[in-house]
């Protein structure tokens, strides 16, 4: 027989000649807690990357987004409070059992703290989110908002129309500040979800339905939005910019967007326009004021006024635009635009024309 002293002071006696075993420690060894802490730290670091790009739910820029962020912090506090309470009670129960064994107090704790309290807490959270939050983030009736914008989801870009004008834009949706804007959102193909995290909650975009969401902010700025429902291969590349401008700037922008496409002023631009109208571009894209009236791809009437291309995948600069035209399937595989076969001079002229469409 051998005697062995274990960590924690207990001693174990081995029967016959086998080495005496000590009880396993919680987590089964000293490395697990370190791995757990490292994993948590890595996750926090990863999540930290979610902020800072104009798409941070915890950096609200509207009343509605502020309320959503508040709900998050309240739920976070309640969850942590609940966790600490449960751990403390577990510890107390363990202590009590060691000293006194089971008693009726335990039964009361299971009934009260284990059943009644969670029901109460969850009911309070439901009341808080349902009664206040859902009501306040709901789109009001069209008559109560000062501006209506129609937003249409496509695989994979967002189109916006401004009723009462001829303006049609893609992926860069402008709204005026200090104005409740009613966005009426629909889709021409599959289910998408329209979401500007810093301004309001997300809204599903379902075929055959028009859903509404209220966007209103006092702060001019560019807010990033994202399709939040898997909608095919390029779902992640279905982002957009929501640009809030002071009302006067917005009106000037809208007036420019409502105009037909600029007429070419140089020989290269005229040749480029011919390439556009006689080649494959015109069958998928619209240029208002010209015979091009395709509806598969975005309206390109004021393409050069945009800062991005293809659902924010590329900056709108000449080289990127050229790459997109001849090799869009390499850049965004599966998108509706075929790679366009053009000679060098044709591409140069087409770029000269597209770059003039301010
Ligand atoms: Cu559209 Cu995801």
pLDDT digit string, tens, across residues 18-51: 555 555 544 444 567 677 777 776 776 666 555 5
Lowest mean per-residue pLDDT among 110-114, 211-215, 254-258, 287-291:
110-114
Q: Give nearest CA residue, ligand 1 atom 1.
A: 192
The confidence score (pLDDT) of residue 138 equals: 81
Give residues (CB < 6 A) around ligand 1. Answer: 153, 156, 192, 227, 229-231, 235, 238
> Domain check: are 242 and 285 in the same one?
no
Consecutive H or E run containing 99 = helix 63-100
pTM beyond cutoff 0.85: no
Residue 31 maps to a domain = no
Distance CA 58, CA 50 (A): 10
> Domain check: are 213 and 182 in the same one?
yes
- Overall number of domains in the chain: 3
* Boundary (domain end) residue, out of 257, 278, 296: 257
Backbone angles phi, psi at 107, to 5 degrees: -60, -45
Residue 48 maps to a domain = no
Q: What is the CATH number of the domain that holds 340?
A: 2.60.40.420
Counting atoms of ligand 1 from 1, which one is nearest the CA of 205? 1
> Domain check: are 203 and 238 in the same one?
yes
> Which pLDDT band holds residue 1 (cuts at 50, 70, 90)?
very low
- Nearest Cα neighbor of 61 from 242, 228, 204 is 242
The confidence score (pLDDT) of residue 186 equals: 96
Query: b/e map of 18-46 (b: 16 or more CB within 10 Å)?
Result: eeeeeeeeeeeeeeeeeeeeeeeeeeeee
pLDDT exceeds cutoff 80 at 319: yes
Counting atoms of ligand 1 from 1, which one is nearest the CA of 230? 2
* Boundary (domain end) residue, out of 222, 257, 292: 257
Distance CA 178, CA 15 (A): 82
Range of the domain at 311: 267-354
> Domain check: are 215 and 317 in the same one?
no
Residue 82 maps to a domain = yes
Residue 333 maps to a domain = yes
Residue 181 maps to a domain = yes
> Domain check: are 162 and 227 in the same one?
yes
Distance CA 299, CA 292 (A): 10
> Domain check: are 176 and 216 in the same one?
yes
pLDDT digit string, tens, across residues 259-286: 999 999 999 999 999 999 998 899 999 9
Mean pLDDT, residues 146-151 taken together? 92
> Domain check: are 225 and 155 in the same one?
yes
Distance CA 52, CA 166 (A): 35
> Domain check: are 209 and 158 in the same one?
yes
The confidence score (pLDDT) of residue 234 equals: 94
Distance CA 58, CA 70 (A): 9
> Domain check: are 95 and 174 in the same one?
no
The confidence score (pLDDT) of residue 21 equals: 57
> Domain check: are 131 and 160 in the same one?
no
- Rounded to the nearest angstrom, the distance between the alpha carbon of 82 and the centre of ligand 1 is 36
- Nearest Cα neighbor of 154 from 173, 171, 174 is 171
Q: Which residues contact 30 (CB under 8 A, 6 or more apart)?
A: none
> Domain check: are 253 and 286 in the same one?
no
* Boundary (domain end) residue, out of 115, 137, 159: 137
Q: Which residues contact 324 (CB under 8 A, 6 or more apart)?
A: 309, 310, 314, 331, 337
pLDDT digit string, tens, across residues 174-193: 999 999 999 999 999 999 99
């Amino acid at each position: 027989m051998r005697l062995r002293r274990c960590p924690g002071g207990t001693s174990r006696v081995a029967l016959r000649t086998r080495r005496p075993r000590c009880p396993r420690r919680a987590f089964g060894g000293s490395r697990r807690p370190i791995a757990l802490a490292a994993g948590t730290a890595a996750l926090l670091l990863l999540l930290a990357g979610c902020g800072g790009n104009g798409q941070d739910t915890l950096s609200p820029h509207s009343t509605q987004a502020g309320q959503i962020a508040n709900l998050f912090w309240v739920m976070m506090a309640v969850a942590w409070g609940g966790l600490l309470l449960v751990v403390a009670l577990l510890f107390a129960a363990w202590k009590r059992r060691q000293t006194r064994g089971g008693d009726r107090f335990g039964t009361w704790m299971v009934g009260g703290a284990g059943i009644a309290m969670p029901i109460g807490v969850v009911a309070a959270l439901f009341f808080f989110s349902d009664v206040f939050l859902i009501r306040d983030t709901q789109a009001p009736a069209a008559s109560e908002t000062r501006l209506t914008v129609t937003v249409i989801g496509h695989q994979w870009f967002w189109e916006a129309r401004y009723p009462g004008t001829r303006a049609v834009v893609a992926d860069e949706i402008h709204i005026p500040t200090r104005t409740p804007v009613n966005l009426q959102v629909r889709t021409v193909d599959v289910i998408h979800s329209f979401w500007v995290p810093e301004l309001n909650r997300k809204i599903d975009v379902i075929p055959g339905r028009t859903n509404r969401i209220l966007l209103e902010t006092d702060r001019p700025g560019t807010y990033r939005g994202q399709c939040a429902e898997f909608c095919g291969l390029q779902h992640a590349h279905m982002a957009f910019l929501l640009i809030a401008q002071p009302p006067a700037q917005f009106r000037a922008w809208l007036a420019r967007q409502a105009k037909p496409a600029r007429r070419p002023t140089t020989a290269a631009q005229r040749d480029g326009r011919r390439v556009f109208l006689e080649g494959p571009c015109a069958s998928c894209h619209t240029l208002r004021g010209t015979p091009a009236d395709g509806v598969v791809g975005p309206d390109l009437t004021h393409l050069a006024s945009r800062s991005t291309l293809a659902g924010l995948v590329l900056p709108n600069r000449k080289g990127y635009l050229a790459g997109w035209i001849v090799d869009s399937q390499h850049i965004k595989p599966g998108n509706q635009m075929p790679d366009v076969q053009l000679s060098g001079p044709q591409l140069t002229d087409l770029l000269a024309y597209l770059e003039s469409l301010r």
